[in-house]
Amino acid sequence: MTDNAPRKPIRKAVFPVAGMGTRFLPATKAIPKEMLPVIDRPLIQYAVDEAREAGIDQLIFVTGRGKTAIVEHFDHAFELETTMKDREKSLEILEPTRIQPGNLVAVRQQVPLGLGHAIWCARTVVGDEPFAIFLPDELMIANKGSTGCMKQMVEAYNEVGGNLISVLEVPEEDVSSYGVIAPGAKHGALTEVTGLVEKPRREDAPSNLIISGRYILQPEVMRVLEGQEKGAGGEIQLTDAMAQMIGSQPFHAVTFAGKRYDCGSKTGMVEATLALALEREDMADEVRAIARRLLEAS
Q: What is the pLDDT along the chain (298 residues), one digit of tens a residue?
A: 556 667 899 999 999 999 888 999 999 999 999 999 999 999 999 999 999 999 999 999 999 888 899 999 998 888 998 999 999 898 989 988 888 878 999 999 988 888 999 999 999 999 999 999 999 999 999 998 889 999 999 999 999 999 999 999 889 888 888 889 999 999 988 999 999 888 888 888 899 999 999 999 999 999 999 876 666 666 778 988 898 889 889 999 999 999 999 999 999 999 999 999 999 999 999 999 999 999 999 7
How many angstroms separate the Cα of 34 from the Cα of each of 63, 129, 263? 11, 26, 9
First to last CA, the chain: 54
Cis previous bond, 130, omega within 30 = no
Give span(s): CATH 3.90.550.10, the chain.
Answer: 12-264
How many angstroms separate the Cα of 29 from the Cα of each of 45, 67, 123, 222, 265? 20, 11, 29, 32, 16
Sign of the C-alpha dihedral computed for residues 143, 1, 225 and 218 taken in this order = positive
Between CA 214 and CA 205 the distance in angstroms is 21
Which of 151, 130, 153 has the alpha carbon at shortest distance from 254?
153
Phi, psi of 37 (to 5 degrees): -85, 140
Q: What is the pLDDT of residues 70-114, one digit of tens each?
A: 999 998 888 998 999 999 898 989 988 888 878 999 999 988 888
Between CA 275 and CA 141 the distance in angstroms is 10
How many angstroms separate the Cα of 90 from the Cα of each of 82, 87, 135, 283? 11, 9, 31, 21
> What pLDDT shows up at residue 2?
59
pTM of the model: 0.92
> What pLDDT shows up at residue 55?
95
Chain centroid, CA 287 distance in Å: 27
* Bridge partners (DSSP) listed for residue 168: 210
> What pLDDT shows up at residue 5?
64
What superfamily does domain 12-264 belong to in CATH? Answer: Spore Coat Polysaccharide Biosynthesis Protein SpsA; Chain A (3.90.550.10)
Between CA 96 and CA 59 the distance in angstroms is 14
Report, in this order, helix, strand and coil percent for the chain, each rounded to 5.
Answer: 40, 25, 35
Q: What is the pLDDT of residues 209-223, one digit of tens each?
A: 999 999 999 999 999
Between CA 270 and CA 211 the distance in angstroms is 22
- Contact by Cβ (8 Å): 125, 12: yes
> What pLDDT shows up at residue 222?
92
